[in-house]
Amino acid sequence: MAIVEVVKYNGSPDVFAWKYPSEELGTWTQLIVNESQEAILFKGGKALDVFQSGRHTLETANIPILNKIINLPFGGRSPFTAEVWYINKVNSLDIKWGTASPIQLQDPKYSVFIPVRAFGQFGIRIENSKQFLVKLVGTLSVFDKTNILKYFRGLYLTKVKDAISSYLVHKQISIMEINAYIEELSTYLQEKMQPVLEEYGIKLVNFYVNDISVPEDDTAVKKLKDALAKKAEMNIIGYNYQQERSFDTLEGAAKNPGTSGDLMGAGLGLGMGVTMGGAVGGQFGGIAKTLDTNAEDTKSCPLCGAIMPKSKRFCSDCGCDTNKKEENNAKDTVKCSNCGFEYKNTMKFCPECGDKYNPCPKCGADLPAGAVTCTSCGYEAPQLCPHCGAALPGKNTRFCPECGKSLIKTCPSCNSPITGTPKFCPECGTKIE
């Protein structure tokens, strides 16, 4: 049986744990441990001793635990079997991670599902060698960066997806703007992953998110980018989507045969050279109306949007009664009692001043807070019993028909009846609370 004289490891820095290939050792064997390394002896699956950097002689004098386990009947040079593990204690800062497949996330700003990729790198250091070997390495002979990425892929993918989703929802930003928060995301992810790695004797030195991107060839991404580019173009020029659709309509009308079409085409070209912005739509409308004097006034059907003569009541495409529809639309709005802004009666608050909508039970008009009479229809809100909350039959009711308690307000000192809302009793001068 061969006696191993020198045991050492000068391998790759990407290796975190390495097992010496031979288990046959002998006393007086020289164990060499380099800087930033630790060596651990295992016997029967149990860690015996940890050796720091330096030269160590394996003899019973400096291995008390080994002396209790191994019988030495051969004059101090007896062979024995044991495992020698080398642990790399240096900081490894270039472990690269990434999402193998895109993560499907919903953009909170534009409500579309977009595939997201993320990548970066992190650094680790082995803090507890025994804990690292027992809980993570196991029976492997070599444990390197590839194993780290494999073992913890589920951890960082889950944390990355959770972090990006949380930032999108809480900050209400688009996925296109997420790269502005990369530094915050990196710190957040390091804090979330550190406790998990500590269970395996690993210190997470740092964690970086280098980039968060979306596939350029994805259909949803292309549509979103085209829409954003179009919006930016319209903002620069100074018009909105509705005005652009008016331009398209007028341009189509200008291409129709006939005098009016030719004149509108000329007016279109003239209007484009005059100005852009909010006044353009009105300008085009005035030009078309002036040039085509014989054209009948038109209106749009409120139901299907079809263009129809203004003098006609019913739509020829869908049969909608436009007069009735307009009346209904008028009833669907309410004027704010606080600022006078007109808005849909389906809203709970005024979009202009934020005042809460307090509808009149009869006509739906917005009543001021505390109002008992509607100024629009004259409706008077019933008075309520201050004791039980039951509706009272009239203003002059003296006793509640439900609980029977008196409704007459009296002075707490002289019991004189109090009418109105005086601050002091007219009989004794006691302050009325």
Q: Tell me the per-residue pLDDT of 217-232, one tens digit each, with 9 for 90 and over.
A: 878 777 877 777 777 7
CA separation for the pair 65, 51 (Å, rounded)? 13
Q: Residue 278 has what pLDDT?
A: 47
Bridge partners for 208 per DSSP? 121
Among 363, 362, 334, 330, smallest CA distance to 349 is for 334
Q: Residue 59 has what pLDDT?
A: 67
Phi/psi for 14 (5° steps) reads -75, -10
3-state SS class at 298: strand
- Residue recorded with tokens 């590839």: 146
Residue 122 pLDDT greater than 90, yes or no: yes
Tell me the range of 29-33, 274-278, 398-402, 418-422 where mean pLDDT is highest: 29-33
Q: What percent of the chain has pLDDT above 90?
A: 14
Q: Tell me the per-residue pLDDT of 158-187, one tens digit each, with 9 for 90 and over.
A: 888 888 888 888 888 888 888 888 999 999
CA separation for the pair 379, 385 (Å, rounded)? 19
Q: Which structure tokens are listed for 160?
A: 């990355």
Sequence-ordered list of residues with C-beta below 8 angstroms from that of 251, at least 6 positions apart, any chain: 268
404-424 burial, b at 16+ Cβ within 10 Å, e below that, comes to eeeeeeebeeeeeebeeeeee
Tell me the range of 196-205, 330-339, 382-391, 422-431 where mean pLDDT is highest: 196-205
DSSP secondary structure, 197-210, as one string? HHTTTEEEEEEEEE
Q: Tell me the per-residue pLDDT of 285-329, one tens digit each, with 9 for 90 and over.
A: 554 444 444 446 888 887 677 888 888 888 877 777 777 655 555
Q: What CATH number should be reported for the domain whose range is 92-220?
A: 3.30.479.30
Residue 175 DSSP symbol: G
Residue 273 pLDDT greater than 50, yes or no: no
CA separation for the pair 34, 7 (Å, rounded)? 11
Q: Which structure tokens are listed for 231?
A: 């919006």
Residue 376 DSSP symbol: T
Residue 271 pLDDT greater than 50, yes or no: no
Helices 241-254, 278-291: inter-axial angle, 10-degree rounding: 30
How many C-beta neighbours within 10 Å does residue 77 have? 12
Q: Residue 238 has what pLDDT?
A: 60
CA separation for the pair 326, 320 (Å, rounded)? 11
Q: Tell me the per-residue pLDDT of 78-100, one tens digit each, with 9 for 90 and over.
A: 566 778 999 999 998 889 998 88
Q: Residue 72 has what pLDDT?
A: 46
Residue 30 pLDDT greater than 70, yes or no: yes
